[in-house]
Amino acid sequence: MGKVHRLLRAWHKWVGVVAALALISFAVTGILLNNRETFGLKPPAPKPPAPDAAAASDLPKFTAGVRLASLPVTPEQALAIARQRFGDVPLDKLELKHEKGALQYRIHTREKPPAKLYIDAATGDAVTQQPEAAAKLEKFILDLHHFNFGEGRFRIVADVFAGSLALLTASGLWLFVREESARRRSRQIARERSAAQMSDRASVSRPVRATPSEAEG
């Protein structure tokens, strides 16, 4: 049992060093992410184009049976507007949403963070939200917090750190229970020795009385 105890203490020490790096990273990035506004990491809210009430009234109803080709700005035309703004870049998604009484295209590029393009489906008015330095920094901190780099290829690092923390906790609990048990045994032995010593001193200091036969002789 002593060999296992020494081995666990060694593991606990070195795993603690590795886990400390993970804890520092999680703590610092967690503080930054929880206080985005304080550290200037929160990107500005997107501002889509204001809907044109007159043009929106001429749009067909947005139902499951609507023909997209009947819209004043078709999906193909929305993609053409995006191509003029960004070039022929990879896209993440193209959405058509009913927003504040108007239909609106939302086009997201596959950049990190993505650029966004908002297009009014009635008028073709477009507003671009380019990724800003703050948004890029926020994305980097978020990736660092989750170790999400290289399309997720380095998530194993986060798994190793998480496993280190679990091992550190388990070994720490085992060592605590074992050493606490040893301390209790030591205190119990000390109390028993103290009681025995007090009993011995009491027996030595007690006077020896002579028996009647010894007194007569």
Q: What tokens does 205 get?
A: 């200091």
On whether the CB atoms of residues 46 and 114 are closer than 8 A, the answer is no
The pLDDT score that the predictor gives to residue 154 is 67
Q: How far apart are CA 127 and CA 82, in angstroms?
A: 10
Q: What tokens does 22 get?
A: 């993970």
Class of domain 53-131: alpha beta
What residues are paired with 93 via a beta bridge?
108
Residue 58 CA from chain centroid, whole number:
48
Q: How far apart are CA 160 and CA 15, in angstroms?
A: 11
Write out the chain's pLDDT in tens, 217 residues.
Answer: 567 667 767 777 777 777 777 778 777 887 887 777 777 666 555 555 666 666 666 677 778 888 888 888 999 999 999 999 888 989 989 999 887 777 889 998 887 667 888 998 888 888 877 665 666 677 778 777 777 766 656 667 767 777 777 777 777 777 778 788 888 888 888 888 887 777 777 766 655 555 555 555 4
Q: What tokens does 165 get?
A: 């923390």
The pLDDT score that the predictor gives to residue 84 is 92
3-state helix/strand/coil string of 182-201: HHHHHHHHHHHHHHHHHHHH
Q: Domain locations in the chain?
A: 1-42+151-203, 53-131
The pLDDT score that the predictor gives to residue 131 is 60
Q: How far apart are CA 149 and CA 56, in angstroms?
A: 43
The pLDDT score that the predictor gives to residue 14 is 74
The pLDDT score that the predictor gives to residue 3 is 74
